[in-house]
Structure 1
């Protein structure tokens, strides 16, 4: 069964717009779990414009499902992850100023760097995932560097899906087959939504996990968080 991890960054963005603690990040995460989410994802950035380091520490002892921390492996990020010890860490190649993740790693060019970082996390008993484009060569080098999983960057799929679903999914199916052949796990994320998630899942049924934030939180404004999570879970059946 493919797991749904809810990225709560956007909830933190709303909180930070006014200061204080409304909405309460911890309570929202616990409610997501109660409503059926299989995990919680956070992406703490250096400027703390949404999730803060304090949020990460507050969440860890209270969550009952899988905790996934994603981010660029700068020294302060590595230190945070090693102290918190989430179930999974997802490495993304973001610059600190980026609005959102918009590309996968060039795992061939950055092979040595990724190998060293992955070794550190693997030795600490933290499952590792590397954010990549649907490219067999990038997946192969992620596996050789020591990644337990790759997370496919799905914005190109989401963009192309409305016009031609078959063409949109094709490179992702091939990438998913490459990951399966290499014996590593498979996650996916970025711009997956109620519109395109079920088709993605039906074509790549061995997907381990999807991480969804922006679309899910936006849908919750209309449907409520509980119903929204239920609808996303239904897309993974």
Structure 2
């Protein structure tokens, strides 16, 4: 979810949420079936037809769901914006620069996890991350990060030059189940 400023003439601007639909799990089903369907490209088309403000895909290093061949096909059909989630690796940076999505988001990756379980540790690798952010921004791609709700991570993200961040809300979401 992203936000944008929206207002009528002569009105105070207000922040409106934008819904970016993640189509990774459509590709997960396709990969599990070892076939060509369901097609994440069709999912992107249908999500936008249903009112999505953007499409999110995560090209993982292990290619567990979205595949390299999906990216140009998805980019071709997306009429809103394409958000490419990716690890901050040399390979992914090259792919993003070639693809030119409307947004690139750095996320942590672990081969053992089923889905992203926490935020990117920017503070622990700030110099490397800063360089990666600069390369993407130099290619005209806005860059965001998926981070934990920790002051040190937010400060490190600002120093690294991110345009904005998405906060990992897992601990907040699980608090209800932990403390009913």
Matching of residues 104-115 of structure 1 within 5 Å = 104-115=119-130
The equivalent position to 1:62 in structure 2, one of 77, 99, 106, is 77
| Alignment length (residue pairs) | 165
- Structure 1, 92-101 or 52-61: larger mean CA deviation: 92-101
Partner of 2:28: 13
Q: Does 1:154 align with 2:169?
A: yes
Conserved? CA contact 1:5–1:40, under 8 Å = yes
**Separation (CA, whole Å) in 1 of partners of 2:74 and 2:43:** 10
What's the CA shift for 1:106? 2.4
What's the counterpart of residue 12 of structure 2? none
1:62-100: per-residue Cα shift (whole Å, max 9, x none)? 100110011212221111101001011110121344322
Unaligned 5+ residue runs, structure 2? Answer: 1-15
Aligned partners of 2:20 and 2:54 also within 8 Å: yes
TM normalised by structure 1 equals 0.66
Specify which of 52, 59, 64 is matched with residue 67 of structure 2.
52
Of Structure 1 and Structure 2, the greater strand share is in 2
Q: Distance in 2 between matches of 1:25 and 1:108?
A: 34
Distance 1:132 1:64 in 2: 28
* Counterparts of 2:88 and 2:72, CA distance in 1: 18
What residue is the counterpart of 2:39 in the other structure? 24
Point out which structure has higher relative CO (alpha carbons under 8 A, 6+ apart).
1
1: CA distance, partners of 2:42 / 2:83 = 17
C-alpha deviation, 1:27, in angstroms:
1.0
Deviates more, 1:147-156 or 1:105-114: 105-114
SS in structure 2 at match of 1:2: strand
Contiguous gaps of at least 5 residues in structure 1: 166-237
TM alignment of 1:20-169, pairs within 5 A: 20-162=35-177
Instruction: Give the structure 2 partner of residue 174 of structure 1.
Output: none
> 2:4 maps to which residue?
none
RMSD: 1.6
2:61/2:87 contact within 8 Å kept: no
Regions of 4+ moved over 3 Å: 161-165
Aligned counterparts of 1:44 and 1:96: Cα–Cα separation in 2 = 13
